[in-house]
Amino acid sequence: MGKERKGVEVSIAIAEAVAQANVDVIAAYPITPQTHIVEHLADIVANGELDAEFVPVDSEHSAMSVCCGSAAVGARTFTSTSSQGLALMSEIFFIAAAMRLPIVMALANRSLSSPLSIWNDHSDVMMVRDAGWIHVFVENGQESYDNMFCAFRMAEDPNVMLPVAVNLDGFILTHMIEPMEYEDDELIKQYLPDFKMKNVLHPDKPVSMGCFGMPEIYTETQMNREVGVRDSYPHILKAWQEWGKLTGRYYKPIETYRADDAECCIVTMGSYGETAMEVVDALREEGEKVGVVKIRLWRPFPFEEFDKAVLGKKTLIVIDRAISFGGPGGPVASELRSALYKKEGAPTIVNYIAGLAGRDVSRKDFRNIIIEGMKKAASGDTDGFTLYALRG
């Protein structure tokens, strides 16, 4: 849009976005690598640039609890965490979605203990796959900034009413200085209407939230939720469409790069997509028909869009950033295998697990994965998974 771009640390940009969104309550507990987001928000509030309650909670469990209380009274609510923090708050994380409380979280993906690791992988978000939150993955700084606004818009949409996690790779994104185009407050005001919730806690119209469910009724509550999540899909797309119309930057649940005529595609989620694109360009120069399929919307999973992108292709090399012990290997690969089960034209899936706890996966590594992966596919060696660059 011909705007000035400046170099901003992604965490800072996220904090600025949250401030521009005029949140009412921020409740967060510090954990590497999310700290800069929360620190900058504290600064913004302390300088009177954002009128909000900054609640420095005693634990991540309390952070999500405060967020639930805040969303329940109809306040625009934000939090951020990673790894162990997400694990600690996981009890309430599930409850927030069940109670349909529109909270927005910047989830700085970080590896789960043990061993303790502060570095990036997706084991934290995979732990909460079934919680019922909307999960968006971003790949660079601009996407991180943009999707904070889209997240509020999606979460608070009366046809959605679900909490939204914007997943960004810890350190790889949070601590990087990236070229950023900020939007002005007028545009944000246009994009984000005031938050109005149907049922709020207020003496003028009392309600009871969180009643307990006997076996006779519990199943029905779960169906009600599942339909709610599924039915939110078109509204998620609409939120991205509207953002695109205003800014020129459109986001889609599945995004592809040079995949149309590709026989083999590498599938990524998060920041790996960028490196994958560069490697695909290089391989294309060498005559390899390869492409990238990027999953941006993890939940609710975009089954149709995914089919459109991959059916008819020979091979998918799925890069997982987490492992399910004693299970089918990488969570993404196993979900994609299941999504493609018995579909006509379903590609073969080869699963690599790479970059656990922030181990660097360079362009050379991507190249190796693609070449090796194609060989494995050709020889039928597609069961299970390969832990890339394992010593021993």
Partner 1 sequence: MDRFSVFSARLVEKAENFTSGHRACQGCAEALAVRLVLKALGRDTIVAMSTGCMEIISSPLPLTSWKVPWIHNAFENSAAVISGCESGVKAMIRKGKIPPKKINFVAMGGDGATADIGIGALSGALERGHDMVYVCYDNEAYMNTGIQRSSSTPFGASTTTSPAGKVSIGQHTQKKNMAAIAVAHNIPYVATACSSFPFDLMEKVKRASEMPGPAYVHILSVCPTGWRIQPNEAIKYGRLAVDSCVFPLYEVVYGKYQLSYQPQRIIPVKEYLSGQGRFRHLTDKDIEQIQLSVNTDYQKIVKLSEEV
Partner 2 sequence: MAKPMEQITWQELEIGAVVTEVGNARQYETGTWRSERPVVKKEQCIKCGVCWLFCPDACIVRAAEGHFEADLTYCKGCGICVKECPVGCITMVSEEE
Contact present, 135 and 196 (Cβ < 8 Å): no
Min dist. Cβ of residue 209 to partner 2 (A)? 5
Q: List CB contacts of 197: < 8 A, sequence separation 6 or more.
A: 71, 74, 102, 156, 158, 161
Sheet holding 254-257, edge to edge: 254-257, 290-295, 264-268, 315-320, 348-353, 386-387
Answer yes or no whether residue 80 interacts with partner 1 by CB under 8 A: no
Q: List CB contacts of 219: < 8 A, sequence separation 6 or more.
A: none
Nearer to partner 1 by C-beta: 53 or 307?
53
Answer yes or no whether residue 21 interacts with partner 1 by CB under 8 A: no
The CB-based long-range contact list for 198-203 (8 Å cut-off, 24+ gap) reads: 198/158, 200/72, 200/73, 200/74, 201/72, 201/73, 202/73, 202/74
The residue among 99, 98, 63, 96 whose CA lies nearest residue 82 is 63
Min dist. Cβ of residue 224 to partner 1 (A)? 12
Answer yes or no whether residue 228 interacts with partner 1 by CB under 8 A: no
Per CB under 8 A, residues contacting partner 2 are: 98-101, 161, 198-199, 206-211, 213-214, 216-217, 219-221, 223-224, 227-228
Q: Residue 161: count other Cβ atoms within 10 Å of its Cβ.
A: 21
Nearer to partner 1 by C-beta: 214 or 223?
214
Min dist. Cβ of residue 185 to partner 1 (A)? 15
Min dist. Cβ of residue 214 to partner 2 (A)? 6
Min dist. Cβ of residue 225 to partner 2 (A)? 9
| Selected binder of partner 1 within 70, 268, 334, 386 (CB under 8 A) | 70
Answer yes or no whether residue 173 interacts with partner 1 by CB under 8 A: no
Contact present, 328 and 361 (Cβ < 8 Å): no
Q: Which does 328 bind (CB under 5 to 8 A by kind): partner 2, partner 1, none?
A: none
**Cα distance between the two ends of the chain:** 51
Binding site for partner 1 (CB under 8 A): 22, 24-25, 27, 51-53, 55-59, 61-62, 65-75, 77, 91-92, 95, 99, 194, 201-203, 206-214, 217, 221
